[in-house]
Amino acid sequence: VLPFPSQVIYNRVGKCGSRTVVLLLRILSEKHGFNLVTSDIHNKTRLTENEQMELIKNISTAEQPYLFTRHVHFLNFSRFGGDQPVYINIIRDPVNRFLSNYFFRRFGDWRGEQNHMIRTPSMRQEERYLDVNVCILENYPECSNPKLFYIIPYFCGQHPRCREPGEWALERAKLNVNENFLLVGILEELEDVLLLLERFLPHYFKDVLSIYKNPEHRKLGNLTVTVKKTIPSPEAIQILYQRMRYEYEFYYYVKEQFHLLKRKFGLKSHVTNPHPRREFFIPSPLETEEPIDDEEEDDEKWLEDIYKR
């Protein structure tokens, strides 16, 4: 009897801890005997209709139980007559995600001093060493919309309007989170994300937290930390925040849902909002209050309903 759900997709968002999670999944797939299906395609998140059909067909015929992972915007299996799998994902503070990506493209991580040259071989030297403040304040394409509208399309989907910063894409992304994602976690609270994944998907994630906390795994994880990151000026940070206002509305919405979920399952995190460095302060008018208790619905019944979607 297949563990259920037997089809899980982690359409991982770039620079949101996905390499750490994939390292864990490789260990877990051997430990628990599920089929980990990864993709070598890292830079094609938007697909034509034919490409969507082909990818959905390939995923659907994988040996079950499987967990498929790739950097790809949300795919609607039911649109093409397939069974909709369970989705999971992790996001992080949008400015921090942008900065991690900005410096990773230029300087890579601790896995090798030259791996950034392999990753971006055509990048000119003047571009590689472009000061991030200059990029933001002088409105270079890399540091302006729509390049900064990055997280929402992973949840909105493949529709062309999903790539246009605005309310339509934001609301569609929220709807998909509610209807198609079992869990969207927050990287800043990764241990709690792993605890909930272990609770919701034990056939895939049993013992994940103990593996994550293992010193040997921590050594591997440290190699994926982006190097040479610097913090932009307060003025540049505020400009980024304004340019990413839809991203932040989505981030705070997901964070609120995540905290409600933690409270529902009795998780009282030791992670608190750290006091930001003065120069890195980002206003957060959408910050959520403490989630309220909701004891009307039985926990296990709630999980069963999610799995049956």
By CB neighbour count within 10 A (0-12 exposed, 13-18 middle, 19+ buried), where does 206 fall? middle
| Cβ-based neighbours of 184, under 8 Å, separated by 6 or more | 88, 89, 90, 91, 155, 177, 254, 257, 258
Please identify which residue in the block is written with the tokens 């895939």. Answer: 204
Integer Cα distance of 163 and 153 in angstroms: 6
Quote the CA–CA distance of 141 and 30 in Å, as a whole number.
43
Count CB neighbours of 2 within 10 A. Answer: 10
Q: Pick the catalytic residue from 71, 159, 203, 217.
A: 71
Is the Cα dihedral 200, 202, 203, 204 positive or negative?
A: positive
How far is 98 from 14, CA to CA, in rounded Å? 10
CA distance 175 to 166: 15
Phi, psi of 86 (to 5 degrees): -85, 130
Written as one string, the DSSP assignment of 203-261 is HHHTTHHHHHHSHHHHHHHHTTSBPS--PPPHHHHHHHHHHTHHHHHHHHHHHHHHHHH
Query: Is position 275 annotated as part of the catalytic site?
Result: no
Supply the residues annotated as catalytic: 71
